[in-house]
Structure 1
Amino acid sequence: MSDIDLNQSVLGWIMQNGIKTERGEKVEFKEHYFLLEPFANWHWKQATMKSAQIGWSTLAILKTFYGLAFRNLNCIYCLPTFDDVHDFVPSKVDNMITNNPVLAKLVHTSDAITKKQIGNNFIWYRGTHGKKAAIMHTSDLNIYDEYDASNIEVVDLYASRLQKSKYKGEWFFSNPIRPGGIDAKYEMSDKRHWMIKCSRCNHYQALDYWKNIDKDKMVYMCQHCKMELNEEDRRVGEWIAEYENREMHGYHINQLMAPWVTARELVYLEETKTPQYFYNMILGLPYIEKDETVDKELILQNIKTDKNNKLRNAMGVDVGYRELHYVVGNHAGIFETGTIKGEKIWKQLEQKIIKYNPITVIDANPDPYPRRKLVPKYRNQVFVCFYKHNSQRKELIEWGQDDKRGHVYVDRNQMISSIIYDFIDKKLPFTTDGRTPQVYLEQNLDEYCKHWQNIYKVTEEDRFGMLYSEWKHSGPDHFVHATAYFKMALSKVPKPEENEEKRVKGAAIYVTDDSIPADRIPILGKDHDLDDNEAWKYI
């Protein structure tokens, strides 16, 4: 650390002014020695893959204040949602201003939640789930806090606000809770590792839970000599880059670096928390099980070259702003996915209903049109879905009765998980009518696959300390939900009996007590070889 000028650096400013944390505790580096270099690093591109509770938010807050006051920077500080901003600023930022007279003197607009002003420079605190806020301000430095829980599309929009800056700084940091997030940024960086030296054998090593913990003795041990590492061994180290010539600086921080965290605590956490929680929050590492992500390979293994008769169909429709994403298929497999855009999206959707005559489940929100118009018009054929958690529900899918007829309810997280299990078990095929799976995937399912790759599962604690899993998204996930609605609709369609091939051109065949009334079934096209009266015999 000899190259750091404490009189000119943010470190010197902190020490000289006795800066305190939001809890009123003095910022110190004896126990946080591993934070010295990151605190002093003003490189324009940085990515930090980290565990929880290691002081990184304090670092970010202080560096933004220092950057405005002494480096003439404007800053956009991004958190995943606007609610996160409302939690973060009063509890952390405002408390630090209150606890530090030097900050109170610097910050002019100390009571504003969404911005702080120092001199002529500003920090704007913004969420990443609304595009409008991302194009309102120019910036010199963007900080993406909890990057993995953020909407990556909006993060990219924020990057456009740096174009007029000479600095163009972007700092990404997060617990690695989803694939392709901070772990990917870190992999692109120079990958700095905290290297410590064993005082017994002088072996340099990066602390690794699986190599540095003696579970029998409940102590830290050297990877080489297997002797116990003392607190001083772990406390003092240096950051060594694996790839020195890469532009982005990257740090990986885990709780083994913290002298106050004992080996016994870590073993206890491994034994009592989920693997995902332990990896993400304690080790600062990504953790992916086979049921927690969907990639192209998983989709590819579900593609069959079979022909599909396109009878007894089901359709799921996700509703967006002036666009619909749909999935159509039957028990033989999904045979069409697509997007409907424009001002007459509902008319185009009805054309799909007439063409395939499917049992259809549509997203109930945000547009009320389906439940007001389509559900009454296509009684017992079109339903609207409400995502609703209900621990007392006996079945995954609950169909509304009486005044709720036409409604269907499902637990969002359980339904998404069930679809992934179907993909894993090859129970949700795609039929290509003879086209090769790879070609079909590239030509028809590229966007579909991207939407599945945008979701990830996190394990969190509720206010009672109970763990629960939730699917989140980092980009568009419309086809995920369209597939969920399709699966609901398909559960309403009776499976064809063996050797039952009743074909009527232009109409699907339903044989069920809760079938579609005859007056709701579309009239057969002109090219059919049965007259209308004869055709109804088969329905």
Structure 2
Amino acid sequence: MLADMKEKRLDLRRESFKQRKPRLWLARFHHVNVHNKPMEFGDKYRFLIPLYNMMDERDICCEKSVQCGMSEWMIVSVLHEASIGLRILYVMPNIDLRGKFVKDRVDRPLKLVPYYVKLVKESYGESAAIGLKHFGKGLLNFVGSNSPAEFISYPADALYIDEVDECNQQNLEMAPDRLDASDYKYERRIGNPSVENWGIDSHYLESSQGKWNIRCHSCNHWQVLNFFKNVIEKTSDLTFRILSEDDDEVYTICTKCGVKINRMKKGVWVDTFTNKDKKGRRVNQLFSANVTMRKLVDQYSKALGNAKKMQIFVNSKLGLPFSSSENKITYSLLKKAEAGSNYTLKDSSVYMNSFQRVYVGIDVGTYYYVIVRAVLSNGKRQLIDAKKIEATQHLVNYLKKIRNTKYMVIDEHPEIREVEKIKKSVPKMYSCNFHLGRTVLALRKMRDKWKKEKRVTIDRTFILDEVKADFVRQIMLNPLDAKDIYNDSMEDYGEYFEQLLSSTRIFVEEANQNRGRFEWRESGPDHFFHAEAYCKLAEMVDPNILQYYSDKGKEFGAKTKAEITQEQRSKKELVPTMTVEEKEAIDKGIMDIK
């Protein structure tokens, strides 16, 4: 009798807990992790409990490190919301990753957890599709961001975006529209950050910016754990000292009194901006039980002196955006471009037609962003004009006034028709689009002759690297007033400087593969940076390169398609293939191109 009463009380308490904190209830009493073990919320994962309890907020973002329990947090939340009748749209970076994620992280618990098996049986339908799951009263739709057609026609109540920075950013812009007809309109975004004010970091900066605070038991000082304040102290660019260690263990210390503190003790999430509707959280491995401080310090030590490894450490382990002067065009580089300069932009534009070799690059945005440079006899590339032009005809009129122009290159997107009109009006204009790993000139055969399409394809990272390299080699010559180009608001510098400073070159790992690539990511508008890239490309499109492709076209004329394909595979690219290390060595002058 007494045992029955205790059991009834326990059931009532669990039911009350389920009503008050349904997601945490689901995680504690039913869900299992990737190792088929019950979820833990004791001393090791205290920071997760408030995160489960905040999921009734409409707009949430989390900037996170890897291996910190956030994927299970998302999965538990979508399963709860689907069970009560909501339609879920869960966006992954691509279709392949979507398939692996669903099979490993969703299908497995749905088959193993009795409570989930029951809800699947009680669901209102069945689906053979990998990404579409009927669950309880609702529906789960897992899609890849690289296939917008998958989620364009799917109305949803809740939008979940996993690994924001790895997703197709253009397609992500359409995703919130799927919530328009819903009364719920839940939005949740998580991911490892890459660069400042881009992807998940841009959402975090727009949010309440919540941080996990813990209190020192000795001096009662509340603090946010910081690897460079609580664990190590940098003594130079390549050296550091550990603040507290013994034998094989490294400890976190209080930044105020210096005593050892338990990094996994109970804490509290504190919002920097309490009036923001979007709730943001930042999670890192300093308060995660999955990684020891010794291992974290060892990984940092191995990353010293290697920008790629350091970026991965900062992004993946500390859950922070990465920024390094080695991976950017810096303010000092832009100022060095004025060294030896004795002119202003106004002076240069007046005498524009006195230069003999002029090249133009144009990026297309709200305006046409125009960069005009002249190649001098000493090899310097002098900036002679930088403009924003609103109307297409005004741009054409401006370009026709520039004499001695060798080539011009314009961004092909997004105004393809307008660009084609410009190409017809301006004889030396080529359009450009970006393609990963390719650098080709388009050709078209008309009768027995090959005609240049006035269209070039270039690898985006390659051509932006070339712009930065020209600044590093001090080939660029800018006017004394370059800092004030389009500085209408009288800030520290104008739009030209701002847009060249906004991008960072980072290493992007391909999901589930032991490889990756370098990529430039912008934290703000970067139109003038791209205009500089198109201007550089215009200089590269010289008659010798055009003749090379023309000759190749003639050779292909008498061969079968299979023979042409085989020769294309075996021939060398216009831009030689080289390793990242070789490219960096060439830029630094350590290695010569043979």
TM score, norm. by length of structure 1: 0.70
Question: Which residue is equivalent to 1:277?
Answer: 312
- Structure 2: how far apart are the matches of 1:208 and 1:51? 13
Q: Which residue of 2 aligns with 1:184?
A: 202
Q: Residue in 1 aligned with 2:383?
A: 333
The question of 1:372 aligning with 2:444 is answered yes
| Equivalence for 2:465 | 417
Say whether residues 1:47 and 2:47 are aligned partners. Answer: no
CA RMSD of aligned residues (A): 4.7
Q: CA deviation at 1:416?
A: 2.3
Q: What is the CA-CA distance between 1:65 and the residue it aligns to?
A: 0.8
Q: How does 1:309-324 map to 2 (within 5 A)?
A: 309=353, 311-314=356-359
Partner of 1:154: 171
TM-score (normalised: structure 2):
0.64
Task: For residue 66 of structure 1, report the CA deviation from its aligned partner.
Answer: 0.6
Matched, 1:213 2:245: no
In structure 1, the partner of 2:18 is: 7
Q: 2:482, 2:518 → 1: CA distance? A: 39
Distance 2:472 2:285 in 1: 34
Q: 1:123–1:304: structure 2 CA closer, same or farther, 3 Å change rule?
A: farther
Q: 1:85 aligns with which of 80, 98, 104?
A: 98
- Contact 1:327 / 1:482 at 8 angstroms: preserved in 2? yes
Letter in 2 for 1:458: F
CA distance in 1, matches of 2:191, 2:226: 19
Q: Counterparts of 2:482 and 2:259 in 1: how far apart (Å)?
A: 63
Q: What's 1:105 paired with?
A: 118
Q: Residues 143-202 of structure 1: CA distance to partner in whole angstroms, max 9, x if unpaired?
A: 121122334443232112222222211112221212223223223322222122223333
Aligned-residue offset at 1:456: 5.4
Q: Residues 467 and 84 (structure 1 numbering): CA distance in 2 closer, same or farther, change over 3 Å?
A: closer
- The equivalent of 1:201 in structure 2 is 219
State how 1:107-506 maps to structure 2 within 5 Å: 107=120, 109=126, 112-181=129-198, 182-213=200-231, 215=242, 217=245, 218-230=250-262, 234-273=264-303, 274-293=309-328, 304-305=345-346, 306-307=348-349, 308-309=352-353, 311-314=356-359, 329-331=373-375, 332-333=382-383, 335=385, 341=415, 343=417, 345-346=419-420, 348-352=422-426, 354=427, 357=428, 362-363=432-433, 370-372=442-444, 376-377=450-451, 384-385=456-457, 387=459, 412-423=460-471, 427-428=475-476, 437-438=485-486, 453=502, 457-460=506-509, 469-471=518-520, 483-484=532-533, 486-491=535-540
The higher relative CO (CA closer than 8 Å, separation ≥ 6) is in: 1
CA drift at 1:209: 1.0
Change (3 A) 1:418 1:40: same
Does the 8 A contact of 2:156 with 2:179 survive in 1?
Answer: yes
CA–CA separation in structure 2 for the residues paired with 1:435 and 1:257: 43
Distance 1:426 1:99, change over 3 A: farther
The answer as to whether partners of 1:189 and 1:250 remain within 8 angstroms in 2 is yes
- Deviation digits for residues 487-514 of structure 1 (CA, Å, limit 9, x no counterpart): 2441465xxxxxxxxxxxxxxxx99998
Structure 2 counterpart SS, 1:246: coil
Q: In structure 2, what is the equivalent of residue 21 of structure 1? A: 33
Sequence identity (%): 25
**CA distance, structure 2, for counterparts of residue 162 and residue 297 of structure 1:** 45
Q: CA deviation at 1:220?
A: 1.6
1:311-365 deviation line (CA, Å, top 9, x unaligned): 4344668999xxx99976542337578566455854642432x2xx47x684486
Distance 1:347 1:467 in 2: 38
Structure 2: runs of 5+ lacking an equivalent = 1-12, 233-241, 304-308, 339-343, 376-381, 386-398, 400-408, 551-594
CA pair 449-73 structure 1, distance change in 2 beyond 3 A: farther
| Matched-pair contact (CA < 8 Å) for 1:291–1:417 | no
Q: Structure 1, residues 441-487: CA drift from partner, whole Å, max 9, x if none?
A: 99xx9799879957752353898867864335799989866754542
Residue aligning to 2:87: 74
Count residues in correspondence.
Answer: 460
Conserved? CA contact 2:361–2:370, under 8 Å: yes
Give the secondary structure class of the aligned counterpart of 2:325: coil
Q: Report if aligned partners of 2:89, 2:143 keep a CA contact under 8 Å in 1.
A: yes
> Which residue of the partner structure matches residue 50 of structure 2?
37
